Structure 1
Amino acid sequence: MQKRKLLIGLALGLASASLSAQTLIVSAAASLTNAFKEINTQFEKAHPGVNIEMTTGASGSLLQQIQQGAPADLFASADQTTMDRAASQNLIDPATRTDFVTNSLVLIVPSQSESKVESVDALKDASIQRIAIGKTDTVPVGRYTKQALEASGDWETLSPKYIPSDNVRQVLDYVARGEVDAGFVYRTDAALMADKVKVVATPKTHAPITYPIAVIAATKEPAVAKQYIQYLSSDAAREALARYGFGKP
């Protein structure tokens, strides 16, 4: 009898724990993948009962998924333009929108390459045939790249060499594997493969690269989602973001 009561109590306890568990779905720009994995683990430890699921990809593609009803509680974009679109469609709670990190655009080449590319101007050399860039309609790093190359007068000139990519990590992989001669990524991504790619230039002629995050308007976990945004300013989260190369706004 005592054993039966113990089993019933255990079952009720498990059921109660299951009911109290909360799942927070974070939709984040691909460049945040590694840093957010670490931060998500930290947040779960600091908030027992919360389980975080993360979807990553190009900011524009993630927004399209949210527009189509994909479940999400938070959206972290690699640019302001994509978040502006989310706001204009009432997909986010504007009061929660927060800029939490900065980044830099860099030009990279394969580390084992014999290429003498040392500047953006060098991309016009006939020996440079393939340049990976993010798709400008959905990938923020692609838009930053276009802004920088338009400012230098090279956007149209280099267009026959472009290899459009679905997100910044794909650009990084293309360069790391030597499938292209060069590519434009964020400094944080280049740092992840410092043994396979090298940074040769840091264009400055583009809009400031700041990442906003906001709570999705249709979230079922508004309180926890807001706590997550607040957590991003904690010492532990800031240390993790800095370790992956992100700056503070």
Structure 2
Amino acid sequence: MRWLAVILVFVLAACVTKLGPDGRTESTVNAKYLLKSEVDRFADTNRAEVVSSLLTIADKLYKRNPKEWKKGGAVSREAALDRLKMRTQRNWPELNGLREGSAASLAFSEAYAGDRVAALVFGLLSMVDAAFEHREEFYILDSLNEIKLYNTARNMDVAVWKLGHDRTAAGELFLLSNELDPANRNLSFEREFGRVMGLLDFMAKVVADRNGRTFSRLSQSVVSAVFLPVSFLK
């Protein structure tokens, strides 16, 4: 009841009076705006930016590993990216129902014969979906969990480590990413992942402050390369 009273106050306070076509006054309310706090609007933008960066990473990975989108049966790199964008509306039979860390880990499994880029990025995107409670927009009564956001950020760090270190039995990287050749050094993948981690870490801090909880950064050895749980957290 307290929340309903607060919402009602916002609605009444924000009513705008104007002349209608018949000369009478009429009130208009932008209900969508009124039902969002500053934190909600920030969460909307933060989530959109994180997803956009992960899709940029997927595009970069496909450019460096063009055989992967072909293995996935896509007709083009763009089609493979579109599939990732529509991930919640399509089935992924090659992943056998796996999501989050379990799906991302397939990209670094010798036994996996499918599209490794799709497995990795789908896994990371599904972590983000879980961290943001499977919502694309947020309103006053919606809540987020700072530990889910924090764990998702740490999982991006794990993904970076695995991209640079996990190899096949023949000694080849499962996926090519950063170019470390001094003559043609390219760390764009690391920078993009760093941007994602920064966005998620800052969102975790904002959520912790909103929830009135003390947020302490936990230590994790990235060398263990184990993806942390997200959706099973309460």
Normalised by the length of structure 2, the TM-score is: 0.29
Q: Larger relative CO (CA 8 A, sep 6+): 1 or 2?
A: 1
1 or 2, which has the higher helix percentage?
Answer: 2
